[in-house]
Amino acid sequence: MKTIEDLQVAGQRVFVRADLNVPLSGGTITDDGRIRAVAPTIAKLVQAGAKVVVASHLGRPKGEPDPQFSLAPVAVRLGEILGVPVAFATDTVGESAKATVAALADGEVTLLENLRFNAGETAKDDAERGAFADELAALADLYVGDGFGAVHRKHASVYDLPARLPHAVGDLIAAEVGVLKRLTDEVARPYVVVLGGSKVSDKVGVIDNLLGKADRILIGGGMAYTFLAAQGHEVGISLLQKDQIPTVLEYLKRGEENGVEFVIPVDVAISGSFPDLKTKAPVEDFEIVDADSIPADKEGLDIGPKTQALFASKIADAATVFWNGPVGVFEHPAFAEGTKAVAAALLASDAFTVVGGGDSAAAVRILGFDETEFGHISTGGGASLEYLEGKTLPGLAALEG
């Protein structure tokens, strides 16, 4: 793949497909990690004298403008991080976009409104998607793909647009791919994978592929209760995917055959109801029980202290650690200890540590860890997982062309 250094960007309109899909609460950005991650690429283009046209999606609007998904707050924060004004176009390819881009001087930046306000961005129909890509291409001379969190999507700005303009990969995607190669090719061992999150079904592909690569797979989060149920344990009202039990049993068998150790929780933090994540009200019936002693009317919401210590011991001697998915409901203080313990174990190890984007990356920041102390924090949870599954990612394939 070509890099920015392979393009002559001075005086050119450079379309940067970023991933600025940040969480918002009442119009306020609650985690600006993805903005900060792409800022160096944009700054490099600014310094080289490009006219930078930044575009991204945010949330899941239904192909038409929706104020709650506007990128207007992102334009403000991006300008603060870059230290330069960022003009904001109130549409994607309409009069505002055309006028704002036309007004750019060398070294200036504009951000287009949410790409998904146009149905062509996510259209399944190739012609509809291509027509939108044509309109986007008219706004630029060159294309830089740097939205790693979207490269697993066959969307107009990710897949179709690079074919219409001279293109290169941005520094963020280059770094992400370099890290993922360290997790798939010539991996330093022991190789430990920590998987959390709510559903086994979300991780089926990556577990399947890692059974031939990882040395240990540590299972936490909501998905752990399907593993516990597969082992014959009562899981109460915990999150459970009964239809995935046969798959889990197959994975446990294959792990034993291939010398891959599955590490399942031995104790859990439970409650009779899901905690209030807005008020963070204390959980009156909070308790720790052994994983084989969950009452029928209780729900597992975090790994317990014995499991935290077990996980830490399995990470301690690792040379490579990949972590995707919090191991508890970290948004509530009563159930954040397990996720804190995993993060702390990664930092205490001498391993090359990768936090695989999404909720795991958010948890690291929200729980107060210094993200620079980890080997790498990915900006794309879904993209990272699909890469580790061995899938071809449309956005990367387009940039290779």
CA pair distance 57, 130, nearest whole angstrom? 17
**Does 203 count as an annotated binding residue?**
yes
Catalytic residue among 36, 98, 182, 199: 199
Structure token digits, residue 185: 């090719």
**Does 114 count as an annotated binding residue?**
no
**Does 272 count as an annotated binding residue?**
no
**Does 153 count as an annotated binding residue?**
yes
Catalytic annotation on 197?
A: no
Catalytic residue among 147, 236, 356, 358: 358
Residue type, 18: A
Would you call the peptide bond into 190 cis, given omega within 30 degrees of 0 as the criterion? Answer: yes
Contact 394, 153 (CB under 8 A): yes
**Does 164 count as an annotated binding residue?**
no
Q: Residue 131 class from Cβ within 10 Å (0-12 exposed, 13-18 middle, 19+ buried)?
A: middle
CA pair distance 234, 238, nearest whole angstrom? 9
Residue spans of alpha helices (H) in 278-380: 305-316, 337-348, 358-366
**Does 356 count as an annotated binding residue?**
no
Please list the residues that pair with 143 across neighbouring strands: 15, 167
Strand ranges of the sheet holding 191-195, from the earlier edge strand across to the other edge: 261-263, 216-219, 191-195, 320-324, 352-355, 376-377
**Does 182 count as an annotated binding residue?**
no
Residue type, 232: G
Give whole-number Cα distances, 382 to 150, 356, 389, in Å. Answer: 8, 9, 10
**Does 57 count as an annotated binding residue?**
yes
Catalytic annotation on 382?
A: yes
**Does 300 count as an annotated binding residue?**
yes
Distance of CA 186 to the CA centre of its chain: 24
Structure token digits, residue 43: 């700054």
Among candidates 166, 96, 155, which has minimal Cα distance to 130?
Answer: 155
Contact 365, 386 (CB under 8 A): no
Catalytic annotation on 34?
A: yes
HSE value, Cβ hemisphere, 13 Å, CA-based, for 238: 34
**Does 77 count as an annotated binding residue?**
no
**Does 167 count as an annotated binding residue?**
no
Q: Is the dihedral of CA 193, 199, 204, 206 positive or negative?
A: negative
**Does 17 count as an annotated binding residue?**
no
Catalytic residue among 149, 325, 382, 395: 382
Catalytic residue among 13, 17, 34, 129: 34
**Does 302 count as an annotated binding residue?**
no
Catalytic annotation on 328?
A: no
**Which of left, alpha, beta for 166 (phi over 0: left; psi -120 to 50: alpha)?**
beta
User: Which residues fall in the annotated binding site for ATP?
Assistant: 203, 300, 331, 357-360
User: Which residues participate in catalysis according to the annotation?
Assistant: 34, 199, 358, 382
User: Which residues fall in the annotated binding site for substrate?
Assistant: 19-21, 34, 57-60, 116, 153
User: Which residues fall in the annotated binding site?
Assistant: 19-21, 34, 57-60, 116, 153, 203, 300, 331, 357-360
